[in-house]
Amino acid sequence: MSIPQKTREYRLPKVDGFHNLTLTEAPLPKLKSTEVLLKVHAVSLQYRDLIVAKGTYPLGQKENPVPGSDMAGEIIAIGEDVKGWKVGERVSPNFAVDHVFGDPTAEIKATGLGAPIDGVLTEYKIVPAHSLVRIPEHLSYEEASTLPCAALTAYNALLGGNPVLKGGDFVLVQGTGGVSIFGLQIAVASGATVIATSSSDKKLETAKKLGAKYVINYKKTPNWEEEVLKITNGRGVDHVLEVGGPGTILKSVEAVRYAGNVAVIGFVAGQADTSQLPLLVLGKAINMRGVLIGSRQQFEEMNRLIEAVKLKPVVDKVFNFEHARDAYEYQDSQQHVGKVVIKVSKD
Ligand X SMILES: NC(=O)c1ccc[n+]([C@@H]2O[C@H](COP(=O)([O-])OP(=O)(O)OC[C@H]3O[C@@H](n4cnc5c(N)ncnc54)[C@H](OP(=O)(O)O)[C@@H]3O)[C@@H](O)[C@H]2O)c1
Binding residues for ligand X, rule: CB under 6 A, are 46-48, 149-150, 153, 174-179, 197-200, 203, 218, 243-244, 247-248, 265-269, 291-293, 331, 334
Tally helices (H) and strands (E) across the chain: 11, 15
Torsion of CA 178, 180, 184, 189, to 10 degrees: 60
Name the residue number minimizing CB distance to ligand X: 177
Cβ of residue 167: shortest distance to ligand X, in angstroms?
A: 25
Q: Please say which residue, 28 or 53, places its beta carbon nearer to ligand X.
A: 53
Closest separation in Å from C-beta 52 to ligand X: 10
Q: What are phi and psi of 252, to 5 degrees?
A: -65, -40
Nearer to ligand X, 218 or 321 (CB): 218
Q: Which is nearer to ligand X, 141 or 218 (CB)?
A: 218
**Separation of alpha carbons 130 and 154, rounded Å:** 22
Nearer of residues 44 and 232 to ligand X, judged by Cβ: 44
Work out the burial of residue 43: count CB atoms within 10 Å of its CB; fewer than 13 is exposed, 13-18 middle, 19 or more buried.
buried
The answer to whether the beta carbons of residues 44 and 97 sit under 8 Å apart is: no
- CB of residue 301 vs ligand X: minimum separation in angstroms? 16
CB of 175 to ligand X, least distance (A): 3
Closer residue to ligand X (CB): 28 or 179:
179
DSSP characters over 256-280:
EEEEEEEEE---TT-----TTHHHH
Least separation in angstroms between residue 324's CB and ligand X is 16
Cα distances (angstroms) measured from residue 5 to each of 18, 65, 88 = 28, 20, 18
